[in-house]
Structure 1
Amino acid sequence: MSPLRMIYLALAVWGAIHPMYYFVSWFQQNGWHLQPMIDAWYVNDATSGLVWDLTIAAIALTIWILAEVFARRNWLALIAIPATFGIGVSCGLPLYLFLRTRITETA
């Protein structure tokens, strides 16, 4: 595995674990209901801006993934979409880059 692919994989793992630590901590303190967390995301303009920034980035990433998956037939790369919306762009983007570079190395 190339050093670049190892970096992508490390970032995907970090992007999964680090945000989840904060999500789980929040749920443990505030209960395991999603609506209060969504409400917390919009508590002020700074958090609202961040939510919209990440939402737009997630949508753009999803469109890119879909376009490339259909062109390259790299169906495994589709798992980056639920990772993006279930965990975050911090996991989904490096995971997709990791999966995308797999094809170019074997070709």
Structure 2
Amino acid sequence: MSPLRMIYLGLALIGTALPLPYFIGFLSENAWDVGAMIDAWYVNAATTGLVWDLTIAAVTLTLWVVVETWTSRNWRGLLAIPAIYLIGVSCGLPLYLFLRSRPVT
């Protein structure tokens, strides 16, 4: 595996390990109420701006993954889409870069 692929994989793991404990902690404290989490995202202007920023990035990344996967037929790249929305762009983007940079056989 190339050094760049190892970096992408490492960033995907870090992009999972850093935000996920916060999400799980919040949800476990709030009876796994996803609605409460969504309400918390809009608690002030800073968090609202961040939500919009990440939403636009997630939609753009999803579009890129779908279009590039369709043209390259690298179907494994689609695995990044659930990661984008269930974990975050911090995991989904480096995961997709890892998946798309594998050697072609």
- TM-score bin, normalised by smaller chain: over 0.9
Deviation of the 1:30 alpha carbon: 2.2
Aligned AA (1:8): Y
C-alpha distance in structure 2 between counterparts of 1:77 and 1:28, whole Å = 31
C-alpha distance in structure 2 between counterparts of 1:71 and 1:28, whole Å = 41
Aligned-pair identity in percent equals 61
In the TM superposition, 1:23-102 aligns within 5 A as 23-102=23-102
Deviation of the 1:25 alpha carbon: 1.2
Deviation of the 1:55 alpha carbon: 0.2
SS at match of 2:17: helix
C-alpha distance in structure 2 between counterparts of 1:80 and 1:22, whole Å = 21
C-alpha distance in structure 2 between counterparts of 1:3 and 1:21, whole Å = 28
Tell me which stretches of 4 or more aligned residues in structure 1 moved more than 4 Å: none
Deviation of the 1:73 alpha carbon: 0.1
Structure 2, unmatched stretches of 5+, are: none
C-alpha distance in structure 1 between counterparts of 2:88 and 2:39, whole Å = 17
Deviation of the 1:26 alpha carbon: 1.0
Deviations 1:42-91 (A, max 9, x none): 00000000000000000000010011001100001101011101110000
Q: Which moved more, 1:15-24 or 1:92-101?
A: 15-24
C-alpha distance in structure 2 between counterparts of 1:56 and 1:9, whole Å = 23
C-alpha distance in structure 2 between counterparts of 1:47 and 1:40, whole Å = 8
Structure 1, unmatched stretches of 5+, are: none
Deviation of the 1:27 alpha carbon: 1.6
After superposition, the CA RMSD in angstroms is: 0.9
